[in-house]
Amino acid sequence: MNARLIIEAYHRGPWRAIWALLIHEIQDVWDEVCWPRWEWFRVHVLRRAPDPEVAAFARELEEDRALTELAKQL
């Protein structure tokens, strides 16, 4: 109850709070589902440079896989 009242006070009313929560959920869906598909389309179809953060994350994953393989060999 207190959390709801704080959220309503922050957004200046219950309807604005509901709208803000709806927008937040839509943003979460975009981040989880749609953005990776758009990034693939942007890089492979539109021939744009990959997002630097995504490229850095991919390099980290590859390094982690290589270290795991090395650890298995020892």
Q: What is the pLDDT along the chain (74 residues), one digit of tens a residue?
A: 888 888 888 888 889 999 999 999 999 998 888 888 888 999 999 999 988 988 898 899 999 999 999 999 88
Q: Are 30 and 38 in contact (CB under 8 A)?
A: no
Domain residue limits, the chain? 2-73
Distance CA 6, CA 12 (A): 10
Instruction: Identify the pLDDT of residue 6.
Output: 87
Q: How many CB atoms lie within 10 A of CB 17?
A: 18
Amino acid type, 40: W
Q: How many CB atoms lie within 10 A of CB 42?
A: 14
Instruction: Identify the pLDDT of residue 48.
Output: 92
